[in-house]
Structure 1
């Protein structure tokens, strides 16, 4: 049985949308990864602008992914950035007043951030949702 042209167009459009979302997801993950790796490597911190660009991309495109396996990736990246920002701000006084404990706290947050980004990338590569 040959599929009608309308179902082929819908399937093709869905595939194009899925591929577009995946491309946006990869762009966002790569921007996050650059920031995450640089956060772990001393004195290699790129501009926070990269992180903000990735966050804005995720916030803008999140609605397009509703109902797809990729929706979890948008939420994952947004939550990762927000939690990392929270923990960096909470540990900032420690960093400012007690350098070594502050550096260790920021290293832990940075490694956690890197872990979350790599975990999301692995799941994205497998075309699977990511969970907590």
Structure 2
């Protein structure tokens, strides 16, 4: 019985961490899309580090996919921003590219968060 309680507590703790991480990601993502709202990339780094450190705790659970989803979202968005940074020389292409990346990132965050709320795993 103690194992069942411990597992339930672990699941609840991981879900709380997931909500915190998705919230930090969302603040940064909305700030990237909405003019005049600039959230700190530091918030994203905090969420990213939390996900890296705690992902081992989720191994074998449905929440493992959420840690992988958030980590990959940050890495892919970061690479996309770096690869499109030279487009800022011409301003408009850089703005368009970074807006599209930010919208994609925002979609990933809200899709993942919605699945977390529904206690659903995400695709690999």
The normalised TM-score by structure 1 is 0.92
Q: C-alpha deviations, 1:8-40, integer Å up to 9, x for none?
A: 211111000000000001100000000011110
Measured on the aligned residues, the alpha-carbon RMSD in Å equals 0.7
Q: 1:122 aligned to 2:114?
A: yes
Q: 1:65 aligned to 2:48?
A: no
Deviates more, 1:104-113 or 1:40-49: 40-49
Instruction: Flag structure 1 segments of 5+ consecutive residues without an equivalent.
Output: 1-7
Instruction: Flag structure 2 segments of 5+ consecutive residues without an equivalent.
Output: none
Q: Supply the distance in 2 between the matched residues of 1:123 and 1:131 (Cα, whole angstroms).
A: 10
Q: 1:104 aligned to 2:96?
A: yes
Q: Supply the distance in 2 between the matched residues of 1:41 and 1:89 (Cα, whole angstroms).
A: 20
Corresponding position of 1:44: 37
Corresponding position of 2:27: 34
The runs of 4+ residues in structure 1 deviating greater than 4 Å are none
- Pairwise CA distance, 1:45: 1.5
Q: Kindly indicate whether structure 1 or structure 2 has the higher relative contact order, using CA contacts under 8 Å at least 6 residues apart.
A: 2
Corresponding position of 1:13: 6
- Pairwise CA distance, 1:43: 2.7
Q: 1:22 aligned to 2:43?
A: no
Aligned pair count?
124
Corresponding position of 1:79: 72
The normalised TM-score by structure 2 is 0.98
